[in-house]
């Protein structure tokens, strides 16, 4: 019995079995001599680099190296001759079709029975997608820092300047109470802008971590829409036309505070970007399952190539870079968390129409 077990183990760890393991790996596994000649090439290497084994065996490993990295292979081979193992080395290689790949490779010296180094094995995997994701994350971080710093600086400068002015007014025996009241009002508005920006930045963090919580309860979305339209229209001194029912036939189970935030963002954007001498139009429609709110302006509209991009964080339209580029992203994610959708389309006759569709039941 023990003899049979030893025989089975010997077969399991035979050179043929080990070769089959190497050949079935998704990673590119390459054997080479100390002068860089390729002597083995598994199926993972074929998939990664595009060469069949009979095309590369006997060829120098340098066929995979970009022309702008001529010293890389000699340096690696020298380290291998000294018995050094190279772990998770990030570099660039070139496929047969000329495509450049970001790879992570581990290269180990191979020794014979006497311990003499006779070659090297390299195990590589494509990390192009990870590297692109890292670069995108770094770009977003830089955008975040740059835009947030700019947006925070503007209200902070106003607040600081007005507080200095108020301080000087109060130092006088007789001061203008009305002027001081205006200073305080400007400081309050600046503080509100800071609070709003910080809340949106926090929302971005909550959305990305999946921790944006909704306090759902039955609410009349139609009445809420009319309320937001009236208040923002009066504050901006703009005409806002609302068409549709006066109230919902059935309430929707939503977080009313969050949906008010979405509606405020859409109407506020329409007042900013729409033609000043033209009304903002809001159309409301509902059925038993959902409520649909469309907010239209008669401004320059949104170019087709930007209709998805404007919902991405920190994206601002090329023709009008006002704002921090967070409002529409947060608005869309809030609607998505409710199981609904927020899109933009061209308004017939010119301008943009933002369409929010919310299910009435808890999605």
Calculate the alpha carbon distances from 79 to 34, 65, 73, 103, 205 in Å.
10, 17, 10, 19, 44
More confident residue, 140 or 51: 51
In the listed set 68, 99, 126, which residue is the last one of a domain according to the structure? 126
Please give the average per-residue pLDDT across 280-308, as a whole number.
92
pLDDT at site 206: 75
pLDDT at site 275: 87
Residues with Cβ within 8 Å of residue 194, at least 6 apart in sequence: 152, 155, 156, 159
Same domain, residue pair 163 and 223:
no
In the listed set 153, 178, 208, which residue is the last one of a domain according to the structure? 208
More confident residue, 109 or 141: 109
Same domain, residue pair 52 and 183:
no
pLDDT at site 327: 81
Q: Which helix (H) or strand (E) holds 295?
A: strand 290-296
Q: How many Å apart are CA 110 and CA 29, to the nearest integer?
A: 13
- Is it the case that residue 338 has pLDDT exceeding 80? yes
pLDDT at site 12: 52
pLDDT at site 276: 87
Looking up tokens 């005409």 gives 239
* pLDDT tier, 72 (very low <50, low <70, confident <90, very high otherwise): very high
290-296, strands of its sheet edge to edge: 240-243, 280-286, 290-296, 352-359, 341-346
The sign of the torsion formed by the CA atoms of 48, 52, 55, 60 equals positive
Residues with Cβ within 8 Å of residue 26, at least 6 apart in sequence: 44, 47, 125
Same domain, residue pair 62 and 195:
no
- Is it the case that residue 159 has pLDDT exceeding 90? no
- Is it the case that residue 187 has pLDDT exceeding 90? no
Q: How many Å apart are CA 281 and CA 162, to the nearest integer?
A: 37
Instruction: Give yes or no for a contact between 86 and 73, defined as CB atoms under 8 angstroms apart.
Output: no
- Is it the case that residue 5 has pLDDT exceeding 90? no
* pLDDT tier, 1 (very low <50, low <70, confident <90, very high otherwise): very low
* pLDDT tier, 4 (very low <50, low <70, confident <90, very high otherwise): low
Same domain, residue pair 231 and 338:
yes
What total of structural domains would you count in the chain?
3
- Is it the case that residue 318 has pLDDT exceeding 60? no
More confident residue, 340 or 165: 340
Left if phi > 0, otherwise alpha if psi is -120 to 50, otherwise beta: which for 99? beta
More confident residue, 40 or 185: 40
pLDDT tens-digit readout, 226-252: 999 998 888 888 899 999 999 998 999
| 101: helix, strand or coil | strand
Q: Average model confidence (pLDDT) for the chain?
A: 85
β-pairing, 38-41 vs 117-126, is unpaired
Phi, psi of 114 (to 5 degrees): -90, 0
Same domain, residue pair 21 and 117:
yes
Radius of gyration of the CA atoms of the chain, in A:
32
Same domain, residue pair 225 and 354:
yes
pLDDT at site 6: 56
* pLDDT tier, 47 (very low <50, low <70, confident <90, very high otherwise): very high
For every residue of 155-180, DSSP letters joined together read HHHHHHHHHHHHHHHHTSSS--HHHH
Query: Could you tell me which of 356, 306, 299, 307 has the C-alpha nearest to residue 333?
Result: 356
Same domain, residue pair 9 and 106:
yes
pLDDT at site 188: 82
Please give the average per-residue pLDDT across 262-278, as a whole number.
89
Lowest mean pLDDT among 174-183, 200-209, 225-234, 316-325: 316-325
| 116: helix, strand or coil | coil
| 40: helix, strand or coil | strand
Same domain, residue pair 233 and 348:
yes
pLDDT at site 312: 82
Same domain, residue pair 204 and 285:
no
CA dihedral 135, 136, 137, 139 (to 10 degrees): 90
Same domain, residue pair 348 and 255:
yes
* pLDDT tier, 322 (very low <50, low <70, confident <90, very high otherwise): low
Same domain, residue pair 240 and 144:
no
pLDDT at site 111: 92
Looking up tokens 């490779």 gives 105
Calculate the alpha carbon distances from 334 to 141, 228, 337, 353 in Å.
22, 17, 5, 19
Phi, psi of 38 (to 5 degrees): -75, 130
- Is it the case that residue 3 has pLDDT exceeding 70? no
Q: Which of 207-211, 320-324, 345-349 has the highest mean pLDDT?
A: 345-349
Please give the average per-residue pLDDT across 77-106, as a whole number.
94
We report the CATH number of the domain holding residue 38 as 3.30.450.20
Same domain, residue pair 204 and 226:
no
What whole-number percentage of the chain has pLDDT above 70?
86
In the listed set 99, 126, 153, which residue is the last one of a domain according to the structure? 126
Q: How many Å apart are CA 270 and CA 286, to the nearest integer?
A: 22
C-alpha triplet 159, 163, 166: angle, nearest 5°: 140
We report the CATH number of the domain holding residue 279 as 3.30.565.10
- Quote the domain boundaries for residue 184: 132-208
pLDDT at site 174: 79
């Amino acid at each position: 019995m023990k003899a049979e077990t030893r025989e089975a183990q010997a077969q399991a760890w035979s050179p043929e079995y080990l070769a089959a393991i190497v050949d079935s790996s998704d990673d590119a596994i390459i054997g080479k001599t100390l002068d860089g000649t390729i002597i083995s090439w598994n199926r993972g290497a074929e998939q990664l680099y595009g060469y069949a084994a009979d095309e590369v065996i006997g060829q120098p490993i340098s066929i995979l190296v970009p022309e702008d990295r001529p010293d890389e292979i000699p340096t690696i081979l020298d380290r291998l001759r000294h018995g050094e193992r190279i772990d998770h080395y990030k570099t660039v290689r070139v496929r047969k079709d000329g495509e450049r790949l970001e790879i992570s490779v581990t290269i180990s010296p191979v020794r014979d029975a006497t311990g003499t180094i006779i070659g090297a094995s390299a195990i590589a995997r494509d990390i192009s997608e990870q590297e692109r994701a890292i670069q995108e994350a770094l770009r977003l971080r830089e955008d975040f820092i740059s835009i947030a710093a700019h947006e925070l600086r503007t209200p902070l400068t106003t607040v600081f300047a007005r507080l200095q002015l108020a301080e000087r007014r109060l130092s006088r025996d007789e001061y203008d109470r009305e002027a001081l009241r205006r200073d305080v009002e400007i400081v309050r508005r600046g503080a509100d802008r800071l609070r709003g920006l910080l809340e949106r930045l926090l929302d971005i963090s909550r959305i990305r971590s999946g921790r944006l919580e909704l306090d759902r309860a039955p609410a009349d979305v139609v009445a809420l829409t009319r309320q937001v339209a009236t208040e923002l229209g009066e504050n901006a001194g703009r005409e806002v036309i609302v068409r549709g029912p006066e109230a919902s036939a059935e309430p929707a189970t939503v977080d009313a505070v969050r949906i008010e935030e979405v509606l405020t963002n859409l109407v506020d954007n329409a007042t900013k970007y729409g033609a000043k001498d033209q009304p903002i139009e809001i159309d409301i429609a509902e059925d038993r399952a959902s409520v649909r709110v469309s907010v239209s302006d008669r401004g320059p509209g949104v170019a087709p190539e930007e209709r998805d991009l404007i919902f991405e964080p920190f994206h601002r339209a090329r023709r009008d870079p006002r704002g921090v580029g967070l409002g529409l992203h947060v608005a869309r994610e809030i609607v998505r968390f409710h199981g609904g959708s927020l899109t933009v389309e061209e308004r017939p006759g010119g301008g943009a129409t933002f369409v929010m569709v919310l299910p009435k039941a808890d999605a």
